[in-house]
């Protein structure tokens, strides 16, 4: 199947590792021209050969400055993938129903929600010119609250609402906006020794590996394995493809059945 992505210019945020890195590799394999952005490059990202722009998208001016730098090298932009996410984790497990104070909530919204809004705002004129596509990476924690940090889940829920609402407003200009909702994915946040799952495991007094192994079942997934980031990337390719012009305002779950809704 020809996804018609060859020679298109794709901007991927949060591209240094995990899902973002997999998305970069997937677009390059389709013959697209990719610009990747993150706070800093990793050896794995550099090895892809993608162009790189360093940026802190959690700051108010970071997204605009980054988009301006990207477009200064060429004004065409066909696809924007808002993948940047994560942020400050709660210091420890606690009985606080809010998980953490205002600074953690502000950081979660700045990176997981406001960065996508500001980046999309800055990129929209170029995307309109190209009749392009926006794909936002959400999380099933927005639909299945309870286990992940509440600030993170709330920010991703806001991203879902923004994505659907913006899709309605820009469709007439030829820009398609869609989202992808993964469940537990094999990224450093889950498997890394300093990630959120490792922190939870330490707080519970159980081995990190044991908690990682139990995650699919605990999340309600119908498989016994974490999701490969490459599978999320393939979904992004489909949503970004000009071959899918009628997919507008969708939120595609890649969650192994974790979302229990009809």
Domains of the chain: 9-185+228-254 (3.40.50.720)
Contacts 24+ apart (CB under 8 A), 157-165: 158/109, 158/113, 159/82, 159/112, 159/113, 159/116, 160/251, 162/113, 162/116, 162/117, 162/136, 163/134, 163/136, 163/138, 163/249, 163/251, 164/249, 164/251
User: Cα–chain-centroid distance for residue 27?
Assistant: 15
Task: Note the pLDDT tens digit of each residue in 195-243.
Answer: 878 877 887 889 999 888 988 998 899 999 999 999 999 999 999 999 9
In this prediction the pTM is: 0.94
pLDDT higher than threshold 80 for residue 252? yes
Confidence of residue 93 (pLDDT cuts 50, 70, 90): low
Task: Note the pLDDT tens digit of each residue in 73-85.
Answer: 999 999 999 999 9
pLDDT higher than threshold 60 for residue 156? yes
**CA pair distance 262, 31, nearest whole angstrom:** 37
Task: Note the pLDDT tens digit of each residue in 7-58.
Answer: 999 999 999 999 999 999 999 999 999 999 999 999 999 999 999 999 999 9
Least confidently predicted of 157-161, 164-168, 220-224: 220-224
pLDDT of 90:
61
**CA pair distance 158, 162, nearest whole angstrom:** 6
pLDDT of 148:
74
Average predicted confidence (pLDDT) for the chain: 93
pLDDT of 94:
63
**CA pair distance 36, 121, nearest whole angstrom:** 18
Q: Do 238 and 178 form a contact (C-beta atoms < 8 A)? A: no
């Amino acid at each position: 199947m020809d996804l018609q992505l060859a020679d298109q210019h794709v901007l991927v945020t949060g591209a240094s590792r995990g899902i973002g890195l997999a998305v970069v590799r997937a677009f390059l394999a389709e013959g697209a021209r990719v610009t990747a952005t993150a706070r800093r490059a990793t050896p794995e990202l550099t090895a892809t050969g993608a162009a790189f722009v360093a940026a802190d998208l959690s700051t108010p001016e970071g997204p605009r400055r980054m988009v301006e730098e990207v477009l200064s090298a060429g004004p065409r932009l066909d696809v924007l993938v808002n993948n940047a996410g994560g942020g400050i984790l709660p210091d420890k497990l606690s009985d606080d129903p809010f998980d953490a104070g205002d600074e953690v909530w502000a950081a979660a919204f700045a990176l997981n929600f406001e960065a996508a809004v500001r980046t999309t705002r800055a990129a929209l004129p170029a995307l309109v010119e190209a009749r392009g596509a926006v794909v936002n990476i959400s999380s099933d924690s927005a639909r299945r609250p309870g286990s992940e940090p509440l600030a993170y889940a709330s920010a991703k829920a806001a991203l879902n609402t923004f994505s659907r609402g913006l899709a309605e407003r820009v469709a007439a200009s030829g820009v398609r906006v869609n989202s992808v909702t993964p469940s537990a994915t094999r990224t450093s946040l889950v498997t890394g020794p300093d990630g959120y799952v490792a922190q939870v495991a330490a707080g519970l007094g159980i081995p990190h590996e044991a908690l990682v192994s139990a995650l699919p079942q605990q999340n309600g997934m119908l498989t016994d394995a974490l999701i490969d980031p490459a599978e999320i990337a393939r979904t992004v390719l489909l949503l970004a493809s000009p071959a899918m012009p009628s997919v507008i305002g969708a939120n595609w779950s890649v969650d192994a059945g974790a979302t229990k809704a009809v």
